Amino acid sequence: MLIKALCDYADKLEENQNGDKQSEGWSKQDVHFQIRLTPDGDIESIVDVRREEKTYDKKGKEKIRLVPIKVVLPTRTQKSSICSNFIEHRPYYIFGLSYDKDGFSAESENNRARKSHKAFVEHELKFFNGLNSEICTAYRRFVQKWKPEDETHNEALLKLGKEYKNAYFCFGLAGARGNLEEDEQFVEKYNNYILNQNDKADSDDESELAVCGILGEKLPIARVHNKIKFPGGNPTGCVLVGMKKAAYESYGKTQSYNSNISEKAMKKYTSALNTLLEDKRHRVMFDELVVLFFAMKKDDSKECEAFSFMYSSSEDKAQNMLSSTFNDALGGVTSDEEAMRKLEVDKDVTFYVAGLTPNSSRICQKFIYHDKFGHILHNLMQHQRDLKIGTKENNQIYFSYIKKELISPNATNAKIPPPLMTSIMLSAINGSNYPRELLETVVRRVKCDSDTDKNKYVKLNRVRAGIIKACLNRKARLSGKEEEIKMSLNMNNRGPAYLCGRLFAVYEKIQTLASGGGLNRTIVDSYFASASTRPSRIMPKLSHLAQVHMRKLEAKDVETYYEMISSIMDKLDSDVFPQTLDLDSQGAFIIGFYQQKRYIKYLEKNRNGKEENHE
């Protein structure tokens, strides 16, 4: 499904921003510096062509960084062995020099720099022979004149310093506009070369012809698929389709002939996938998991912007309109449909979401989902409503927030398994039940983590409470039952687990008041985990302890908390605490505790507030 979708999307990307078709055999490449040549082929200067980009750190502080520009060059080679490109961009090939702390050297490990430069010279001189435009002539003379061993102290290179190693280059003529790859003579000769190569491939007797499983046409099948520049993957590139060992082959077919994907389809999907991955508007990352998304239309910027904002916190502070629109919808001020109209998105367009991870030199597809964009966005809005715990809290709980709350604050490896993150995301996108492991993990974290002054970590916060509420309510709703957990404290909830959690919060407050707030360790630290699992063993002990603590309270507080305890106990059937609580009930216990604590804080701020009016 993914490859077919990428091929269809490639057809949408055939036209660039100027409306001109980007011909086969060309691709975008990062470029950091332009080498400006004199007509005689000497280097006049090396100019930094990177652009400034605003970013924000975790504290929201604005930073400026330099990022490479995109230049459309002849398609780059996919070979890992020494092989030159047309108009080379790699420093080893162009200059034949390596760089380390001692400076530039024409010698390198295995003489790779020397071999690369030799391949570059032979390849380019052969192709540029006969091209006599001013810039092509200057380039040919540069290739002929440059001797790596004589250029280890070249001033233009010395200015680059350590940036040389990771830099990519393009060529221009001093005093003139445009780059070498834009020269008319070069473009004409290169495009004719691509046409001849295609004709040769079509007529090659050794090419394996078959019906392409993607395009449905009888075409030459791709033996090797082009590499993908995948974030976090192999620096030389990864493949989505590849059979490198005999164990993966079948029916006597070798390599990627097993996949039955034609050269035409292969070039389409790899080009589209590389384009999407290099555009941060079409992907978000969670550790090594890359979530890729796109709408099946020529300009999907509006849809991707809205999806990305709902999916992950944005570094761009300028998205106030998005935030305001979604907050209004989450708060019930507007409907989801009104929000979509305001955002100018096409709710009927097909939208794809795929989860991908690097696996050595391969790309592993974790999931793919597609639906009308309106359905996906509505499900994400419902996901946020399920997570919302508090009538005045409309801000989104992003997946990055959820991920953080599933990890122990003392963990050395701050990652969660990709299958769990994948399941959580799919549940949000398609509106299904959350994975059981999500509830298990967050309940375990609440029970095991501790509040400490040193790491300023909060054991139970709105995100963790919201996750538990979402898991319980969605399970009930999809089963046709009434949602048990409300936005705020539910005085009518008679669930034993919920009531035990409420009672525990009251006991903790009584202990805190009796001690003057100076305790290093409260009943939450000592008994919370066991009370949420086996209330019958712990709650009677805490009840007796509360009676002792109340002797130290002022009369008005004794009355307040005695009535609170009585109100809760009256709702317990036969005044008997449950023997054990299953996972769902443990979640209800935690929510009861959380909401009762918030209610007590509300009473402290509003001494005249009444229980029946609290929302």
- Could you read off the pLDDT of 188-244 as tens digits, one per residue? 999 999 888 776 665 554 567 888 888 888 888 888 888 888 888 887 788 888 776
Q: Could you give the percent of the chain with pLDDT greater than 70?
A: 88
Q: Are 219 and 212 in contact (CB under 8 A)?
A: yes
Q: Which of 597, 566, 582, 598 is nearest to 504 (CA)?
A: 597
Is the pLDDT score of 56 beyond 80? no
What number of other Cβ atoms are within 10 A of residue 180's Cβ?
22
Pairing of strands 289-295, 283-286: antiparallel
> Which phi and psi angles does 295 have, rounded to 5°?
-105, 145
Calpha distance 579→199 (Å, rounded):
78
Compute the C-alpha angle 349/352/356, nearest 5°: 170
Residue 256 has a pLDDT of 65
Q: Are 384 and 21 in contact (CB under 8 A)?
A: no
Is the pLDDT score of 405 beyond 60? yes
Calpha distance 335→351 (Å, rounded):
21
Two tokens, residue 158: 């010395």
Q: Are 560 and 602 in contact (CB under 8 A)?
A: no
Query: 39 vs 25, which has greater pLDDT?
Result: 39
Residue 60 has a pLDDT of 61
Calpha distance 54→32 (Å, rounded):
17
Two tokens, residue 495: 């669930």
Is the pLDDT score of 414 beyond 80? no
The domains of the chain are located at 1-16+204-278, 32-201, 283-487, 494-587+594-615
Q: Which of 540, 530, 22 is nearest to 275 (CA)?
A: 22
Compute the C-alpha angle 297/298/304, nearest 5°: 65
Q: Which of 371, 325, 131, 362 is nearest to 232 (CA)?
A: 362
Q: How confident is the model over 304-310, as a mean pLDDT?
A: 87
Q: Which of 601, 336, 406, 590 is nearest to 485 (CA)?
A: 590
User: Which residues on neighbouring strands pair with residue 295, listed in sequence order?
Assistant: 351
Query: 54 vs 385, which has greater pLDDT?
Result: 385
Is the pLDDT score of 487 beyond 70? yes
Compute the C-alpha angle 536/538/540, nearest 5°: 75
Compute the C-alpha angle 51/14/367, nearest 5°: 85
Q: Are 55 and 160 in contact (CB under 8 A)?
A: no
Residue 452 has a pLDDT of 58
Q: In a 3-state reduction of DSSP, which class is residue 363?
A: strand
Length of the chain: 615
Q: Are 176 and 135 in contact (CB under 8 A)?
A: yes
Amino acid of residue 462: R
Residue 203 has a pLDDT of 58
Is the pLDDT score of 63 beyond 60? yes
The DSSP H or E segment spanning 63 is strand 62-67
Two tokens, residue 353: 């979401």
Burial call 511-534: b when 16+ CB within 10 Å, e when fewer:
bbbbeeeeeeebbbeebbbebbbe
> Which phi and psi angles does 108 have, rounded to 5°?
-150, 170
Burial call 140-165: b when 16+ CB within 10 Å, e when fewer:
bbbbeebebeebbebebbeebeeebe
Q: Are 353 and 308 in contact (CB under 8 A)?
A: no
Is the pLDDT score of 42 beyond 50? yes
Q: Is the dihedral of CA 575, 389, 416, 381 positive or negative?
A: positive
pTM: 0.77
Q: How confident is the model over 580-601, as a mean pLDDT?
A: 94
Is the pLDDT score of 58 beyond 70? no
Q: Are 195 and 129 in contact (CB under 8 A)?
A: no
Calpha distance 19→74 (Å, rounded):
19
Q: How confident is the model over 482-504, as a mean pLDDT?
A: 91
Q: Could you give the percent of the chain with pLDDT greater than 90?
A: 47
Lowest mean pLDDT segment, chosen from 287-296, 323-332, 422-431: 323-332
Calpha distance 64→62 (Å, rounded):
7
Q: How confident is the model over 5-9, as a mean pLDDT?
A: 92
Mean of per-residue pLDDT scores for the chain: 86
Q: Are 221 and 208 in contact (CB under 8 A)?
A: yes
For residue 270, the number of C-alpha atoms closer than 13 Å in the C-beta half-sphere is: 28
Is the pLDDT score of 314 beyond 60? no
